[in-house]
Structure 1
Amino acid sequence: MSLDTVVEDIREEARARAEEIREEADAEAEEIIAEAEADADRIREQKLAEVERQIEREREQTLSSAKLEAKQERLGARRDVLEDVRADVEAAIADLDDDRRRELTETLLEATLAEFDDDADVVVATREADLDLLEELLEDRDAEVGDPVDCLGGVVGESDSSRVRVNNTFDSVLEDVWDDELKNLSERLFDQ
């Protein structure tokens, strides 16, 4: 064997070894790339799923907020309508014709005086516009007219001796009726 042959054999062996290393490196690189692509696909799928869950959560929150806001607006509108109805009722009470006002005031006065003992010193008050009516209604009764009160009408009776105060104003009657009938009124107005 000549030296050239040995050199050529060594070169051939080195080339073969280099080719083998290159093939191993290429295979390893392909494996690394495949793993990286698989990891990238898995990460992309996870991120997409996470984004979809976040979108769904935000959609649910937005929908829930919109429903709550709509409900609050509906309740506010209903409250406004009920306040308007109440204001209309109060205006109608304030504008009662004289005969009806006299009849209702007399009924409330009798109910008020019935709450006091016969020997009690009773002072009865009403709104300023009804003072003359009250004086007329008290002519044959053992009670006196007191200072006017801020109300729609009716009477307030008080006695220092019995420490009793009876509020039979139209306002207090309206308040009682309003509280008792608010649910029915709401159902009729809003067809619940």
Structure 2
Amino acid sequence: MSLDTVVEEIREDARERADEIRQEGEERADDIVSAAESEADDIREEAEAEVEREIEREREQALSSAKLDAKHERMSARRDALESVREEVENRIAGLDGDEREELTRALLDDALDSFDEDEQLAVHYASGDEELLSDILDDYTHVSLAGEYDCLGGVVVESESSRVRVKNTFDSVLDDVWEDDLKQISNRLFDEQ
């Protein structure tokens, strides 16, 4: 074997070894690229899923906020409607006159008088404009006298001159009681919620 043959064999072995190393390197590079692409796909999928979750959270928050705003608007509209109904009722009550006003005033007075002893001297306050009406009604009572105006829609406020007891039996107080007791029913009726 000649030196040239040995050199040629060494070169051939080196080429084969270089080809093997190059092929192993390319395979490793392909594996690395494949792994990187797979990891990139996983990262992208996770990022897309996170973006979807964030979009869903923001959508739910926006929807919840919109529902809350709508509820506040409905409640405000209801409150305004109930206030309007209350004002209309007060106007109608204030506008009562004639026999109807006398009948209601007399009933409120009789009810208030039940809270006192029969022989107590009592003073009756009345709504502005009701002095003549109360004067006529009080002609039927011996121990009751007019005491002056009281800021109300109608009815009476009866006081004992000796015991400092006061019974407020006005149209306003009756309306307040009815309104408070039946507000839910009134609201349900106005807004068709049964």
Following superposition, the deviation at residue 151 of structure 1 comes to: 0.8
Name the residue aligned to 2:42.
42
Following superposition, the deviation at residue 129 of structure 1 comes to: 2.0
Which residue identity does 1:145 align to in structure 2?
A: L
Partners of 2:146 and 2:107 in 1: CA distance: 16
Following superposition, the deviation at residue 160 of structure 1 comes to: 5.0
Deviates more, 1:136-145 or 1:161-170: 136-145
**Gap runs ≥5 in structure 2:** none
Partners of 1:124 and 1:160 in 2: CA distance: 10
Percent sequence identity is 59
2:182 aligned with 1:177: no
TM normalised by structure 1 equals: 0.89
**Gap runs ≥5 in structure 1:** none
Name the residue aligned to 1:117.
117
Partners of 2:174 and 2:2 in 1: CA distance: 132
Deviates more, 1:156-165 or 1:75-84: 156-165
Deviates more, 1:159-168 or 1:87-96: 159-168
2:11 aligned with 1:11: yes
Deviates more, 1:100-109 or 1:139-148: 139-148
Which residue identity does 1:20 align to in structure 2?
A: E
Name the residue aligned to 2:85.
85
Three-state SS of the structure 1 residue aligned to 2:168 is strand
Three-state SS of the structure 2 residue aligned to 1:129 is coil
Superimposed CA distance per residue, residues 91-117 of structure 1 (whole angstroms, 9 cap, x where no aligned partner): 011111233222211221121122111
2:128 aligned with 1:106: no
Three-state SS of the structure 1 residue aligned to 2:129 is helix
Report the RMSD for the aligned CA atoms in angstroms: 1.9
Structure 1 segment 1-192 matched on structure 2, within 5 A: 1-139=1-139, 140-192=141-193
